[in-house]
Amino acid sequence: DDALDFDGIYDAIRSAGLDLPERPVAADLDGQVVNCFIKCEADPTGRLRGRRQVALNDSDVHHTHHTKGAVGGVAAAAIGDPAVFVSVAGLQQGPAGGGSVAAIVDLGS
């Protein structure tokens, strides 16, 4: 749904075939996530969960770098591993300020 959406990441992991509890945490993944791919975009309103964001107005760093870093950090925290790939410019590939998620899991263990 947005840049802080842990549940969307866990839903992608479930869709890849890994059984998870209702409220998963990184430890529940048991190292079975091989990688997580995310396509995202900063919300064009400049807001995230009702809070003003300044990434779209930063003259020093393009907003895509802010978005990629923030979403990558959220994803790494959700899966407990920095093996994530975040691509920006996800305009019209999900809800405003959101995007799509795909996960690769190892079910052989």
* Listed ranges 20-29, 86-95, 96-105; the one with the highest mean pLDDT: 20-29
109: pLDDT confidence band, cut at 50, 70 and 90? low
Domains (range + CATH), the chain: 6-105 (3.30.1330.160)
Q: Which residue has the higher pLDDT, 23 or 44?
A: 23
Average pLDDT, integer, range 27-42: 93
DSSP-assigned letter for residue 17: T
Strands 33-40 and 99-105: antiparallel
Report DSSP letters for 30-44, one per residue.
TT-EEEEEEEE---T
pTM given for the model: 0.86
Write phi, then psi, for 100 (nearest 5 degrees): -115, 155
**Are 5 and 76 spatial neighbours (Cβ–Cβ below 8 Å)?**
no
Q: Which residue has the higher pLDDT, 55 or 94?
A: 55
Report whether pLDDT(53) > 90: no
Average pLDDT, integer, range 37-43: 90
Q: Is 45 exposed, middle or buried (0-12, 13-18, 19+ CB in 10 A)?
A: exposed
Report whether pLDDT(92) > 80: no
